[in-house]
Amino acid sequence: MTDWLGMVATPRTPRPELKGRVLERARTRRRRWPLAVAALLVVGAGGAAWWAKRTIDQLTVERARLATRATALEDTVSTFIHGGGTELLQIPVSTGGRVGSVTIFADSVGHRWLVRCDGLAPNARDQTYQLWFITETGMMTAALMPMDQDRPMVMALEMPGGNVRVMGAAMSIEPRAGSASPSGPVVFHRML
């Protein structure tokens, strides 16, 4: 019976234009398309959110991977530079008519090399730089260093195991797949 309580309120005369507004709104058929648009927007927003989350997750993983790699590299470089058994070799080179350098941090304690190449001319498509260890028994391949872009290159190398004694380093230009022994133009040849 409390439904009748509304009648307690003092009646008020609506503004005359209100009636027209009400009837007009009542006559207007409810359009369904706003619902469809809303649904599409919701789906779109959901898709965008999913895509954004996926991208963020991927980037987070990539960032973590790069951070780990950077830390490892920093650690490696620090070990090379500050290690007691590290010997520094700086070798001026000339490739493709330009002057560059190859810097080798040779860690005799850790049996590793850190090699940095600056100013090397990019290789032809079918060629690569190949680094060699000079040992008592001959040349042993150390690494393939294809240079497709004109930018510095850094790489860490494990020295040959066993009783192989490394006496120096050399670099030559070889076919892209590398060679078993130097066959192309020599970039440098240096004894430790």
Of residues 4 and 33, the one with the C-beta less far from another protein: 4
Is 125 near another protein (CB under 8 A)? Answer: no
Tell me how far the alpha carbon of residue 52 is from its chain's centroid: 19
Of residues 17 and 126, the one with the C-beta less far from another protein: 17
Of residues 12 and 82, the one with the C-beta less far from another protein: 12
- By rule CB under 8 A, what count of residues binds another protein? 24
Least Cβ distance, residue 11 to another protein (angstroms) = 4
Is 31 near another protein (CB under 8 A)? Answer: no
Please list the residues that pair with 101 across neighbouring strands: 92, 118
Rounded distance, CA 130 to CA 143, Å?
Answer: 6
Residue 148 structure tokens: 């497709």
Is 34 near another protein (CB under 8 A)? Answer: no
Pick the closest to residue 130 from 95, 82, 93, 181 (CA basis). 181
Least Cβ distance, residue 16 to another protein (angstroms) = 11
Q: Strand 186-191 relative to strand 127-135: parallel, antiparallel, unpaired?
A: unpaired
Is 180 near another protein (CB under 8 A)? Answer: no
Least Cβ distance, residue 3 to another protein (angstroms) = 3
Q: Strand 112-118 relative to strand 98-107: parallel, antiparallel, unpaired?
A: antiparallel
Least Cβ distance, residue 41 to another protein (angstroms) = 22
Of residues 15 and 125, the one with the C-beta less far from another protein: 15
Is 35 near another protein (CB under 8 A)? Answer: no
Pick the closest to residue 131 from 123, 121, 139 (CA basis). 139
Q: Which amino acid is at 192?
A: L
Is 32 near another protein (CB under 8 A)? Answer: no
Rounded distance, CA 5 to CA 129, Å?
Answer: 95
Residues forming the site for another protein (CB under 8 A): 1-15, 18-19, 21-23, 25-27, 30
